[in-house]
Structure 1
Amino acid sequence: MTEQNRTPTTHIVSVGTALPGEPVDNAQLAKVLGVNEEWIEVFIGTRTRHFARDLGTGEVRWTLADLCAQACERALAGADTDPGEIDFIVLGTATPDSLMPATVNNIADQLGLDQVPTFQLQSGCAGAVQALGLAQTMIASGQYRTGLVIGGDVCSKHLDVHRDLTGAAPSDLVNFVLFGDGAGAAVVSAEPRGKAVAVRQVLNRFTGLGRKPGQVIEWFGLADRHEDRQAVTEDYKAIEEHVPVMAVEILWELLGELDWDADQLDYLLPPQLSGRMTRKITEQLDVPTALEISCVADTGNNGNALPFLQIEKLLTQMSAGEKALAVAIESSKWIKAGFALEKI
């Protein structure tokens, strides 16, 4: 194959992240919610998280667009890339600021970008991987050279911290301690410049046919906003049962597609559900030669920001020739996702 006809490889050139405000530890959260601090530490295993709204007043301090724009600016600076070089923007989120306009367009506006294709994929923990997969397809087409891939969520908008949680169902209560807010962005390019890593494979597959959702986030409009339905429902038992099994399946499927052996992996980016669940999943993945890259115990589960927080840590450690594999699972309607990176 000639150089001219070769399919361009997608490279992650740099990553930027944004976490709102100071970290909120379990003692602070337990006091606000009126729950047991020890229960949070034992059952969830997450130490701190960040919130885009003030826990005391409920005031929104950062929108999702604000956090994503901050992450993009940091990624652009890290890649020494002018915003005018960006050919497209893809956002993955489960919690857009509004149904319309699309949050991705408000991000573009904050960055001063115009006349570029924008895409918003509404998805849970797989959204960032889906966004990366779309970016890879666009760069592989040869029509686009450089883009922004963004993932972020502001989960706190769905949680009323002043609500009386006495007698709350576990599927309801868990959401108040599991999630956090944040955003991440990557500059992706056909050019292997700077400290780039090559995207070798992206997996994204719906596997939820006939299966009950493991998580539901409701949208309340004017007609139903005062109904008693939970805003967020988590079937934590189903997640505990199925996610570790799915993670192992994703690991071996990606290794098979790449013709890599498990002992060739230098780094492993496991699913970031909670500190406790991540430890359990990593044990079942059982890749002792690979260094685990995790962040959820300190950031909380901030959804589509998590892969970027992991990659940001990864990029400070990878050396030429090293390989990394990431596993992500969306339990809302069961999506297998993941990607493989190689330092060139």
Structure 2
Amino acid sequence: MQPSQSPPPTPPSPGAYLAAVGTALPGEPVDNAMLARTFGVSEEWVDVFIGTRTRHFARDLTSGETRWSLAELCARAGEQALTASGVAADEIDFVVMGTATPDHLMPATVNHVADQLGLDQIPTYQLQSGCAGAVQALELGRTLVTAGGHRAGLVVGGDVCSKHLDLDRDLSGAAPSDLVNYVLFGDGAGAAVVTAEPRGHRVALRGVLNRFTGLGRQPGQVIEWFGMADRHEDRQAVHEDYKAIEESVPVMALEILWELLEDLGWDPGDVDFLLPPQLSGRMTRRIAEQLGLPDAVEVSCVADTGNNGNALPFLQLEALLGKIGAGQRALAVAVESSKWIKSGFALEKL
């Protein structure tokens, strides 16, 4: 859709704005052929069933060495966002981080990120959540700048999922529901500078949806924490009900889309860009088609980055900022299957 077909931009008003976005992916991309050699899985199965071509890992698959911590990746993304935004570090009034895979239980990873960025004497917040964590962090950042008293803040999201992979495990007889955890995920981080006035890219955050909808439902995904009392138990660290996810996420994504449109008073034709849920290459294609916005340009990354959780919305945003023009609008939809959370947000370029 051409910029001239979009509705006129809404004039600047007190609110929250994205000044810039930065991202960080560890190491070189790992393709399906390398996954097949490392884990003994079928390269063709990964291509067809998952539809993800490459992903990035903070661990070396040969030695098992962890080369990047989550804090290091988030700090790198934050530094890029700050540089691109033109917002100085001493203007940052808070840091909010969303993750499902912190480096430690204590201290919070967000504080290591702030330390590496040279930020001090400001509030920090860490939200532990899966794919919705980045949206929750954006919502909290938006609240902090719109409530007054904060000029700018850094919102960060990321995950290092490879820490849960058992590189010595024989997967030759594993069921597809088990194998998916070895081929679906990747590692990465992203960050956005959120401001109270339009700066940098001047993208207004028009609305955020964040709603728990898992009452009485079994989790679709569980990541275990092993303490001293249970660390030697013979159970997997990650459990995934991929069938439940395949059935539920497309339905929830459509509900999120229409809830956002209704809340904003936008028509489907007002949406120039769609940022759909990033589960896998195959699932994302299916969901984007079912959302039924044929005139909106899809912005996706998961086929090349893998499902790196809370980094994904920032990777999508980074791609969006290179495409969106004045007066154009974008909708992002994200679903968390751990205990079923609907989330999404709306943007408009001034």
TM-score of the two chains, using structure 2 as the length reference? 0.96
| Residue in 1 that maps onto 2:165 | 159
Deviation of residue 166 (structure 1)? Answer: 2.5
Are the aligned partners of 1:46 and 1:276 in contact in 2 as well (CA < 8 Å)? yes
Q: Following TM superposition, by how much is the alpha carbon of 1:7 offset from its aligned partner in structure 2, in angstroms? A: 7.4
What's the secondary structure of 1:39's corresponding residue?
helix
Q: Which of 142, 149, 171 is residue 177 of structure 2 equivalent to?
A: 171
Q: Is the 8 A contact 2:132 2:336 kept in 1?
A: yes
Instruction: Note the aligned Cα RMSD (angstroms).
Output: 1.0
String of CA shifts for 1:57-85, please: whole Å, max 9, x gaps: 11010000000000000000001222111
Distance 1:88 1:8 in 2: 19
**Residue 7 of structure 1 contacts residue 142 of structure 1 at CA under 8 Å; is this kept in 2?**
no
Q: Deviation string for 1:170-209 (max 9, x for gaps)?
A: 3221100000000000001012012220000000000000
Q: Write out per-residue CA displacement over residues 235-254 of structure 1, whole angstroms, 9 at most, x where no aligned residue.
A: 00000000000000000000
Equivalent-residue separation in structure 2 for 1:32 and 1:82 (angstroms): 44
Aligned AA for 2:92? I
Q: Which residue of 2 aligns with 1:148?
A: 154
Partner of 2:293: 287
Given that 2:253 and 2:287 are in contact with CA atoms closer than 8 Å, whether structure 1 keeps it comes out as: yes
CA distance in 2, matches of 1:92, 1:7: 27
2:121 to 115, 140, 144: 115
Q: Which residue of 1 aligns with 2:139?
A: 133
Structure 2 match to 1:51:
57
- Aligned counterpart, 1:3: none
For the residues of structure 2 that align with 1:307 and 1:153, how far apart are their CA atoms?
Answer: 12
* CA distance in structure 2 between the partners assigned to 1:226 and 1:159 by the alignment: 16
Is the 1:7–1:141 Cα contact (8 Å) retained in structure 2? Answer: no
Q: 1:210 aligns to what?
A: 216
Residue 258 of structure 2 aligns to a residue whose secondary structure is helix
Aligned length: 339
The one-letter code sitting in structure 2 at the alignment partner of 1:227 is: E
Aligned letter for 1:244? P
Moved more, 277-286 or 220-229: 220-229
CA distance in 2 between counterparts of 1:124 and 1:66 reads 19
8 Å CA contact retained: 2:20, 2:193 = yes
Find the residue that maps to 1:130 and give its secondary structure: helix
Which region of structure 1 is more displaced relative to structure 2, 166-175 or 253-262?
A: 166-175
Q: Deviations over 1:35-69 (max 9, x none)?
A: 10000000000000000010001101000000000
Q: How does 1:1-344 map to 2 (within 5 A)?
A: 8-344=14-350
Counterpart secondary structure, 2:218: coil
State how far apart, in whole Å, the 2-side matches of 1:29 and 1:196 are: 40
Unaligned runs of 5+ residues in structure 1 are 1-5
Letter in 2 for 1:177: V
- Rounded to whole Å, the distance in 2 between the matches of 1:236 and 1:84 is 44
What amino acid does structure 1 have at the position aligned with 2:162?
A: S
8 Å CA contact 1:7–1:140 kept in 2: the answer is: no
The one-letter code matched in structure 1 to 2:211 is R
Unmatched tracts of structure 2, length 5 or more = 1-11
Alignment partners' CA distance in 1, 2:174 and 2:202: 47
Hey, what's the Cα distance between the residues in 2 that align with 1:129 and 1:231?
A: 25
Helix, strand or coil: the match of 1:327?
strand
Q: What TM-score, normalized to structure 1?
A: 0.97
Matched residue type, 1:150: V
For 1:115 and 1:27, the matched residues in 2 are separated by 47
Amino acid at match of 1:8: P
Instruction: Specify the SS of the correspondent of 1:35.
Output: coil
Moved over 4 A (4+): none
Note if contact 1:172-1:230 (Cα within 8 Å) is conserved in structure 2: no
Tell me, in whole angstroms, the C-alpha distance in 2 between the residues paired with 1:316 and 1:35: 37
Equivalent position SS for 1:202? strand
What is the rounded CA distance, in whole Å, between the counterparts of 1:283 and 1:228 in structure 2? 41
Give the secondary structure class of the aligned counterpart of 1:213: coil
Amino acid at match of 1:94: A
